[in-house]
Amino acid sequence: MTAWKEICRVEDIPVLGSRRVARDQGIDVAVFRNDADEVFALLDRCPHKGGPLSQGIVFGTSVACPLHNWTIGLCDGQAQAPDEGCTPRFEVKVDSGMVFLKADELLTHATDLTRSVAGPVLRKTNTA
């Protein structure tokens, strides 16, 4: 039996919005809340170009990635057709208004995936 880790209260997540949960290792976990107070958790990374899903617009049980508007299902992390791809999902438990994630998933799940990089680090180093 794995331990559940307390994350926040449901009200700490905006309705039709999201919060991101920082981890020691790996990309944040995005926790989403819909208008029925259901809570979902996905890796905060779009399967398309790595956009932070926590920053997207939440509607129904989907989120639109803020970078290129891919629609990702909150329940399964699947991109909506015709787009293809899947974002790792995390198990969530809501108990007495508190949101919990699994401790072992926070520690080890999908920690190998990285964010896209941008900026001067992309420049070819000048060897001259």
Partner 1 sequence: MDMRVNNKEKMKLVMVGNGMAGVRAIEELLKLAPDLYDITVFGAEPHPNYNRILLSPVLAGEQTLDEIVLNDWAWYTDNGIKLHAGWKVTEVDRVQRTVSAENAQGEKVTAPYDRLVMATGSNPFILPLPGKDLQGVLAYRDIADTQAMIDAAKKYKHAVVIGGGLLGLEAANGLMKRGMQVTVVHVSEWLMERQLDKVAAQMLQASLEARGMQFRMSAQTAALVGNDSGRVSQVEFKDGTQLNADLVVMAVGIRPNTALAEKMGLHVNRGIVVSDTLQTVTDPRIWAVGECAAHRGIAYGLVAPLFEQGKVLANHLAEFGIGRYTGSLTSTKLKVTGIDLFSAGDFMGGDGFEEIVMSDPAGGVYKKLVLKGDQLVGACLYGDTVDGSWYFKLLRDGRSVADIRDKLMFGESNIGDVGHQGQSRAAAMADTDEVCGCNGVTKGAICKAIKDKGLFTLDEVRKQTKASASCGSCTGLVEQILMFTAGGDYSATPKLKPMCGCTEHGHQAVRDTIREQKLLTVGGVFKLMNWRTPNGCASCRPAVNYYLISTWPKEAQDDPQSRFINERSHANIQKDGTYSVIPRMWAGETTAAELRRIADVVDKYKIPTVKVTGGQRIDLLGVKKEDLMGVWKDIGMPCGHAYAKALRTVKTCVGSEWCRMGTQDSTQMGKDLEKAMWRMYAPHKVKFAVSGCPRNCAEAGIKDVGIIGVDSGWEMYVGGNGGIKTEVAHFFTKLKTAEEVLEYTGAFMQLYREEGWYLERTVHYINRVGLDYVKKKILEDEPLRQALWAKLQAALEGEPDPWFDLQDAKVDTRQFEPLTTA
Binding site for partner 1 (CB under 8 A): 5-8, 12, 14-17, 19-23, 28, 31, 35, 49-52, 55-60, 62, 64, 66-67, 69, 71, 82, 84, 101, 106, 115-121
Q: Which is nearer to partner 1, 42 or 58 (CB)?
A: 58
CA 126 from chain centre, in angstroms, equals: 37
Q: Which is nearer to partner 1, 6 or 37 (CB)?
A: 6
CB of residue 103 to partner 1, shortest distance in Å: 8
CB of residue 127 to partner 1, shortest distance in Å: 21
Instruction: List strands edge to edge, sheet with 98-102.
Output: 4-9, 98-102, 92-95
Q: Which is nearer to partner 1, 79 or 89 (CB)?
A: 79
- List C-alpha distances in Å: 108 to 10, 66, 77, 97: 24, 26, 18, 26
Q: Which is nearer to partner 1, 5 or 93 (CB)?
A: 5
d(CA 113, CA 13): 24
Classify residue 20 as exposed, middle or buried by CB count within 10 Å of its CB (0-12, 13-18, 19+): middle
Give the DSSP H/E element, type plus range, for residue 19: strand 17-21
CB of residue 128 to partner 1, shortest distance in Å: 22
CB of residue 1 to partner 1, shortest distance in Å: 18
